[in-house]
């Protein structure tokens, strides 16, 4: 199984991320989002961030999760390379995410893009043999 792949898009960045489970798909999607900005090999996961989100369904949570990573990148001035996700359902669906990374150091972190936002254009999650999420990022 490949974790994620980028698809051709004229103005923006489009990717599909996969997983044996919804959790794995969501952590791979986060990796795809961040790799569109900066090479993960240049990032040391020396610091941890945690997020807790609540959504009406998986689609909603996935959108919030990816948007949250952009929010953290900008407000924490940090770059991330490891992502793990746990989902729980008690009435509403909850996502617990753990993100590893470090503060931005422009001498070591060369940026390819700045992802402005996660769009809902062609946004969707499918489950066949694998879980798959498709995302278009506004860059």
Partner 1 sequence: MEDTSRSLFKIDDNTYEVPLGYRPGMRVPGRIFVSAALRNMVEPGTVDQVANVATLPGIVKYSMAMPDAHLGYGFPIGGVAAFREDDGIISPGGVGFDINCGVRLLRSDLEAEAVQPRINTLLDALFQAIPSGLGSTGRLHATDQQLTEAFISGARWAVEEGYGFEDDLTHCEESGGMAGADPDQVSVKARKRGRPQMGTLGSGNHFLEIQRVEEIYDPAVARQFGLFKGQITVMIHCGSRGAGHQICTDHLEVLSRAVRKYNIAIPDKQLACAPLGSPEARQYFGGMVCAANYAWTNRHIIAHWTREVFEKYFPGSRLDLVYDVAHNVAKIEEHNVDGKRERLYVHRKGATRAFGPSRSEVPAAYAAVGQPVIIPGSMGTSSYVLCGSDAALDLTFGSACHGAGRVMSRSQAIKLFTGQSVKAALNKDGIVVRSTSPSMLAEEAPQVYKPSGDVVDVVHNLGIATRVARLVPLGVSKG
Q: Applying CB under 8 A, which residues contact partner 1?
A: 6, 8-13, 37, 56, 60, 63-64, 67, 70-71, 73-75, 77, 104, 106, 110-114, 116-124, 136, 138-139
Nearer to partner 1 among residue 88 and residue 105 (C-beta): 105
Longest dimension (CA), the chain: 46
CB of 64 to partner 1, least distance (A): 7
**Which residues, in sequence order, are CB contacts of 61 under 8 Å at separation 6+?**
26, 53, 54, 55, 87, 93, 94, 95
Nearer to partner 1 among residue 21 and residue 110 (C-beta): 110
A 10 A CB-CB count for 123 gives: 15
Report the number of secondary-structure helices (H) and strands (E) in the chain.
2, 8
Nearer to partner 1 among residue 20 and residue 114 (C-beta): 114
CB of 20 to partner 1, least distance (A): 26
């Amino acid at each position: 199984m490949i974790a994620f792949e980028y698809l051709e898009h004229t103005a923006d960045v489009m990717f599909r991320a996969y997983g044996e489970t919804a959790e794995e798909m969501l952590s791979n999607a986060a990796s795809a989002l961040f790799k569109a900005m900066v090479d993960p090999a240049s990032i040391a996961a020396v610091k941890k961030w945690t997020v807790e989100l609540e959504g009406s369904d998986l689609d909603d949570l996935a959108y919030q999760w990816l948007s949250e990573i952009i929010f953290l990148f900008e407000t924490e001035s940090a770059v991330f390379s490891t992502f793990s996700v746990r989902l729980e359902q008690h009435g509403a669906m909850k996502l617990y995410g753990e993100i590893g990374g470090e503060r931005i150091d422009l001498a070591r972190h060369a940026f390819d893009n700045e992802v402005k936002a996660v769009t809902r254009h062609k946004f969707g999650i499918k489950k066949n043999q694998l879980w798959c999420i498709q995302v278009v990022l506004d860059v």
